[in-house]
Amino acid sequence: MPELPEVQAHAERLTRDYGGVALERFTPLSITAMKTFAPDPALAHGQPLAGVGRRGKYLLLDFGTLTFAVHLMQGGRLKPDVKQSPRPPKNVLARWRFSDGRALMLTEAGHERRAGVWTDPEVALARLGPEALEVTPADLAKHFAAHPMRLHGFLRDQGCIAGLGRRLANEICHRAKLSPFASTAKLGLDGAERVVAAIDVCVEEGLAYERTRKDMSSSADRPGNVHGRAGEPCPVCGDIVRSVRYSAYTVAYCPTCQTGGKILADNVTSKFLK
């Protein structure tokens, strides 16, 4: 799933390429596309795109009179619609046609159809926690205390902190030299300072890479030390990167850097092996 660096860089590209161009028409092309139906998307017709912003993992297309919130979920993309077919493929969920003849389309690979568009951004963004790049150590320490759970789960929870996902959770834990299963209730201010510093470095690395691209990267292309690298040497200490697999995601970590050399059991209980 695209995370903060990918979404932010894409927002910048879209602003550069489409900023100032008026929207001719917005057309939902799938019954699953629209997550809210009010205000009427037609309110944006004829209005220039002021810019594309970001909140958490949402793209925010600001047309002044109306802002579309777009979430790409796992397989979604917002990209140029070159053909603009009157009968688009099933994976095309929505289309924004501009006054200069160009168009953007929201696509989603696979069959889940979870990507979507909100015309009321407040509904989409209501449950989001603080922005990952804006949270201070003091604030994060308070959030840790208020949400006792494993650190990896906290970082993935958009209600706790917005913009991070599975890949960045792995990378941030590794950069902070903390176990992905460390209890947030026990991290305190010192742990919060380490996590905030790690967030800043990992996000900035991702942004620097994404800004070199003309399109959004795939997960395998994104920089990192441990995510997707189980079985490979840790670039920091040389130990073998390990993983704990779940049905929906994988936790990657380095035992030497993060768990005092202990190996986490590869099962849903995630207990330490003796």
Running DSSP on this structure, what letter comes out for residue 137? H
Could you tell me the pTM of the whole model? Answer: 0.94
Running DSSP on this structure, what letter comes out for residue 272? B
Single-letter amino acid, residue 176: A
Give residue 46's Cα distance to chain centre: 30
How do the domains of the chain map onto residue ranges? 4-125, 137-258
Could you tell me which of 218, 220, 216 has the C-alpha nearest to residue 14? 216
DSSP H helices in 58-165 = 121-125, 137-146, 151-156
pLDDT of residue 267: 59
For the domain bounded by 137-258, which CATH number is listed? 1.10.8.50
> 16: Cβ–Cβ under 8 A, 6 or more apart, which residues?
none
Q: What is the pLDDT along the chain (274 residues), one digit of tens a residue?
A: 899 999 999 999 999 999 999 999 999 999 899 999 999 999 999 999 999 999 999 999 999 999 999 999 989 999 999 999 998 988 999 999 999 999 999 999 877 778 999 999 999 999 999 999 999 999 999 999 999 999 999 999 999 999 999 999 999 999 999 999 999 999 999 999 999 999 999 999 999 999 999 999 988 889 899 999 999 999 999 999 999 999 888 999 999 999 999 999 875 544 444 3
Domains 4-125 and 137-258 share a fold: no
CATH 3.90.220.20, applies to 4-125: no
CA distance 41 to 55: 20
pLDDT of residue 111: 77
The number of residues in the chain equals 274
CA distance 208 to 8: 11
pLDDT of residue 274: 38
Say how many C-beta atoms besides its own lie within 10 A of residue 229's C-beta: 17
